[in-house]
Structures are given as C-alpha cells and as structure tokens.
Structure 1
Amino acid sequence: MRDSTISWQKKLAQGFSTVASLLEYLELPQTLGEALAEKAFPTRVPLSYAQRMQKNNPRDPLLLQVLSTASELSSVQGYVTDPLEEKKSNPQKGIIHKYEGRLLITLTGACAVNCRFCFRRHFPYQDNNIGRNGLYDLAGYIRNDPSITEVILSGGDPLLAADAVFIELLQLLEQIEHVHTLRMHSRIPVVFPARIDERFLKIFSETRLKKVLVLHINHPQELADAEVKSVLTSLAAQDFFLLNQSVLLAGINDDASILAELSQRLFQHRILPYYLHILDKVQGAAHFDMDLSQAKEIFYTLQKLVPGYLLPRLVKEEPGKLSKTLIL
C-alpha cells in the first residue's frame, strides 16, 4: 500500500548512499564492495529497490546492477568515458540532437538509482544543467527547427525533476505546433515508484501531446513489488504508451529464460518489450559485457520462447550513426 503521508523526496533520502550500508542491510560481507569505485560514481539505491533484493545472496540480479566493485577500477581497452560521442551532438546546454525529427533533453543529472553499467556515468552534467530558466532557451531551439516533432526527456532520470518543471515544460512544448510527441526514458516507476504520485499523473493527464514512456527494466525480479504494479497500472490508465528497453548484462540477465519471463511479465503490465541493448562500452562497466556471438545465441533461444510481439529487437548504438544498429 502506498504511503502518502511522507513526500517522495523524503522517501528518496531514505535510500542507500554507500556500498557499505547497502551490504550491511543485505547481510553480506563488506569485501564484496569497493568504496574507491564510489568516488568516481557514487552509490545510490532507493530502499524500495533494495527491499526486492535477496538477503545473503551475493549474486542477486538487482544487487549486481548497483554494487560498486573493484572491476570498475580496471582500465580496459575500447571502453571510454563517452562511448556514444554525445559531446559532438550537444549544441547547447541540456540538448543532444543527433536523430532526425527528435531532440533529447538531459532534464536532470540526478537518478534515484545509479546503475553501474550506465553509459552516461561520466557525462558532464555540470555543463548541461539547464535549470528552469533554461527551459525557455530549449523551447526557442525547438521552435526554430520545425523538423522536430518529438521531444525526448532523459538524464539522469527525467522523472526526478520537480512537478513545477514539468508544468512549465509542458506549457512551452504545447505552444509549439510541430511538436506532437513527448517521450521519457526512466527507471523511476520500477526502482522508485513513490515518485509517481497523484499530482504527477494529473499534470500529464492534461497535455495534448502523445506520451511515450520507455522503461528500463532488466530483470523480472524488478517487477516483484505491489507498489510498482500499482504505478504501472496508473500510468497505462493515463494513456502513457509503455515500452521497455533492457541492457544485456553478463551475470544478470544473460539467459534466454530470464528474458522470456521478463517479456511475459512486462506484457502483464501492458508494457511492450522494445529493445534489448548490447552494452555501450563505457569505462568502468566492461565486466558487464559479453561477446556479440554470445548475445546472438541468447537472442536466438529467446526467439523460440516468446511470440513475435514479445520479442525485443537486439540493437546497439554506434557513435556517429543516425539510428540504432539492428543486430537481429
């Protein structure tokens, strides 16, 4: 049951901010974590997400996504700080513009959870902090380019922005006739469902824009929570078109049966599997990667386990390309 007596901001502050405190909560040895890795990329895990982890299980698939380890400190050839070369497509503060007809806004650098494989773990958010005043500059950029029909909110996690920011942003976008779709990429409904409160839903219920919400769910265990299920039901009821994209992660979901279960559970919540991503080669995350041949084998097996409408597309992003590269 959702507790509305405590603000979502206070609930977020109750999360874990060190690997030591997370491991203590899970009754696991401190030797599993690496505090030095936190200096470059801090630990951030909401309590509601940690509650879905199995205690005394060092291989828990949710824990492994957020556990800072010594592997992050290794320098591996080919793994870089800007794997998608986004700086080349960053024409002004808060904007990434590389795809035809679409514009991406890094609305905030904050996340409820810091996934250790994040491709933007080294992104210069300090240089892209738009603030509320910057929304007008963003609107001006979009207004001057009539080819832009879809605005994508990213981050960080865009759903951590304040309600007032969403109200102002929606008002600005609705005044631009050539913008039809607002897409958001977020982990929030799954890792921190308390953020999706009644006020948030009301704000988005009143927009003329088509609403697409791309969730980032990597394992079926992430859906094993009553509050998450309630939030997903509410989002679907408010006409959010729900999609999911997963990252193929060694030791976490590199098994066709796990991915098949994920697809089935997503569909139960009116979410369509959209993409299965090959890991972006970001510095500090090489231990999550796998050979492309292994990824293909997993996908071929998955293809036999689910109907076509529950089969995500296996893709990878390559710097400089004007679309994702379809592998299978």
Structure 2
Amino acid sequence: MIPRTAVTWQGSDWQNALATAIRHPQELLEALNLPLSALPQTLAAAGDFSLRVPRDYVARMKKGDPHDPLLLQVLPAAEELTATPGYSADPVGELAAMPVPGLLHKYAGRALLITTGACAIHCRYCFRRQFPYAEAAAARTHWAPALAYLAADSSIGEIILSGGDPLLLTDQRLAELLKNLAAIPHLQRLRIHSRVPVVLPERITADLIKLLSGTRLRAIMIIHSNHANEINAPVGDALIRLAQAGITLMNQAVLLKGVNDTPEAQIKLHETLFEYGVLPYYLHLLDKVHGAAHFQIDRQQALDLYTQLRQQLPGYLLPRMVQEQAGLPYKVPGEHLEDFSAGGLM
C-alpha cells in the first residue's frame, strides 16, 4: 500500500489547485522535458478541445517519456484532427434521452443530472467533449424542471450526478441540490460520478465528506481511474476517508489503447484501488466520439484481454466489460461482443 498522508485539506486548496492547472500544451511538454516538435499539431487539437491538467497530476507522470499512460490521457494529439467514419459528437445518444435540460433518462429506475460542464481535467477520450453544455447542462436555473420531472416519476429510485464533474460545484450549491433531491420521497440512492478524487484530491475536504454522508440518500461514488500510476498518497488518503464515512466506492475505467490495454495494467489498477476501499464497477469500451479514435482497440484484443482478467482476478476484483450504445435501455455486456459485426466494436 502507498503510505498514507495526514493532510487536512482546506476549502481554498482545491480552488487554488484548479486555478493553477496547466492550460497550455507547451508548458506541459516543457514540464516533462519533452520535445516541442509536435507542438503545432498539439495546439491545433487543443483549439478544438482545450487542455486542462492539475499540476499534481502532471507530477505523477514520468519525465522524458512521451508514452507515459497519464500523459496520453490529457495531451492533445494530432490524431484528434482526423475525421473517422462511425464517430460522432453524441456517440451514446444522450441528447435524444433528455426530457428536460440537463436530465438524462435512458435507463429504468434511474436518471442522470448533468450538474456542470466544468471538469478538473480534460481527458482526450471524453465522450462529452462536444456536449452542448450551454444549452443542455442542468445549470442552477434548470434545476427546477429537473427536480419536478424526478418528483413526478415514482419509478426513479436513483439519481446520478454527473457533468462535467459534480464535485466542482461549491459546497453551498451541492448542499442545496442534495437537500432538494432528498426531499423527493421515492429517491433512495445518490450516485456521484467523479474523477476529482483521483485528479484533484484536495477537493475531498472534511466539509465535503460530511455533506455527502449526511444526506438521507444512500451515497455511492463511482470514481474514474484508468491507471495505477494515478493513485498516489493524497489520492489514497482521500479514498480511505470517503470509505470510512460510509460512502460506497467503485471504479469505472475506460479501456484505452496505449494506456491500460494490457492484463498487467488492469490487474495493478484494480488491486491498487482495492487497497483503498474501491471495488471495480465497469471497464468501458471506448465511446466513439469525434477525436478519440486513436484510443480504440480492436474487437479481438478486447475479448482476449478480458479472458485473461477472468483467469487472473478473483470475481470481486473483476470489472464488468461493457459498451454503451445509443438507443439501448442497457449497457452491452462484454460477453455479447461476439454477436457484433466483425468490423469492430460498436
């Protein structure tokens, strides 16, 4: 286990870390002692989807290594500028499943609220990298219609907070939202999808933990970690404190070419997270969003990888390999991938 830290984060620490995040590709390359030869293409890709990465996350990267698995997730690449058939701005059909602004109702029994368009880090494979947040996010002005929709449908027992990243809401706004959600009697569970505990552990303050554990709703947090190198001592401490507060922790990873597409990388990720109270949830196959085709692995490689994970991991450390498809009322399990066309994954 990575040694624990004894840091007590203050409310201003995470905001300072966010404000000082690296935003320019040249600064990132120089910080890692990497050549600037590809800077023109990198700048062009960043013009379409900007760079944002906290400095502590950069400190976990290996200097001089252009193939560092953390760097590949955030550095704008020339491949993003290539249009690839089959890729789109809305690969999982979210806009067609939005009854009111910012609220997605794709699956039975649960609904998802897009609380903000802001993220602590800009992941190059993000399936919402082209999402129309200005029109479709559940900004505070849109909360009333979303809350009214939830209150009117008693079949919804779980509310999922997503974004952007819901943990970038201030404590005050998050408290207001949770109070309104808890007032809907048929809501029983609160699920939060967030990369913040991994990339901005300063945000996991005592006040935030008290807020999340103090609601009557059963709190589940799905963290998004793709590689064991992301888990340093501050991240581990943040995860342990969340778990000790009674918040169920699970991880959702994305299978990414060159980042975590080996059995060794996957096994180390899930074993490391388990040390800090995090169980595996999903291993997502890439959503086919414009600009992310270079992260796609082929169909047979995904199946072979998952077979090896089945053989080497105990059941409680084995994530469910799935893919989301527009229009389906469920995620497609990995064992059904053989039913798809030989031309590649959906």
Short-chain TM bin: over 0.9
Name the counterpart of 2:172: 164
Instruction: Within 5 Å, give how 1:194-209 maps onto structure 2.
Output: 194-209=202-217
Does the residue aligned with 1:108 lie in a helix, a strand or coil? coil
Name the counterpart of 1:244: 251
Deviations 1:130-161 (A, max 9, x none): 33343232211111111110000011111111
Name the counterpart of 1:274: 281
Which one is further off, 106-115 or 127-136?
127-136
CA RMSD of the aligned region, Å?
1.2
Deviations 1:15-52 (A, max 9, x none): 10111111111111122441011111000000111110
Does the residue aligned with 1:15 lie in a helix, a strand or coil? coil
Work out whether 1:26 is the aligned partner of 2:54: no
Unaligned runs of 5+ in 1: none
Give, as a single letter, the amino acid of the residue that structure 2 aligns with 1:97. Answer: H
Q: What is the TM-score when the length of structure 1 is the normalising length?
A: 0.97
CA contact (8 A) 2:213 2:247 kept: no
Unaligned runs of 5+ in 2: 336-346
Tell me, in whole angstroms, the C-alpha distance in 2 between the residues paired with 1:180 and 1:149: 5
Q: What is the TM-score when the length of structure 2 is the normalising length?
A: 0.92
Name the counterpart of 1:35: 43
Name the counterpart of 1:79: 87
Counterpart among 189, 194, 200 of residue 197 in structure 2: 189
Deviations 1:60-110 (A, max 9, x none): 000000010100000111111110111101121111111111110000000
Does the residue aligned with 1:98 lie in a helix, a strand or coil? coil
Instruction: Within 5 Å, give how 1:211-290 maps onto structure 2.
Output: 211-223=219-231, 225-290=232-297
Give, as a single letter, the amino acid of the residue that structure 1 aligns with 2:301. Answer: Q
Counterpart among 22, 33, 50 of residue 16 in structure 1: 22
CA contact (8 A) 2:158 2:191 kept: yes
Counterpart among 292, 300, 304 of residue 293 in structure 1: 300
Deviations 1:251-288 (A, max 9, x none): 11110111011111111111111111110111100000
Which one is further off, 201-210 or 247-256?
201-210
Name the counterpart of 2:184: 176
Name the counterpart of 2:328: 321
Tell me, in whole angstroms, the C-alpha distance in 2 between the residues paired with 1:163 and 1:40: 31
CA contact (8 A) 1:245 1:276 kept: yes
Tell me, in whole angstroms, the C-alpha distance in 1 between the residues paired with 2:38 and 2:161: 35
Identity among equivalent positions (%) equals 45
Name the counterpart of 1:59: 67
Tell me, in whole angstroms, the C-alpha distance in 1 between the residues paired with 2:9 and 2:222: 26
Counting matched residue pairs gives 327
Tell me, in whole angstroms, the C-alpha distance in 1 between the residues paired with 2:141 and 2:263: 46
Work out whether 1:311 is the aligned partner of 2:318: yes
CA contact (8 A) 1:257 1:302 kept: no
Deviations 1:222-272 (A, max 9, x none): 11x111011001100111111111111001111011101111111111111
Deviation at 1:325, TM superposition (A): 0.3
Tell me, in whole angstroms, the C-alpha distance in 1 between the residues paired with 2:262 and 2:137: 38
Q: 1:97 to 1:226 in 2, by over 3 A?
A: same
Does the residue aligned with 1:179 lie in a helix, a strand or coil? coil
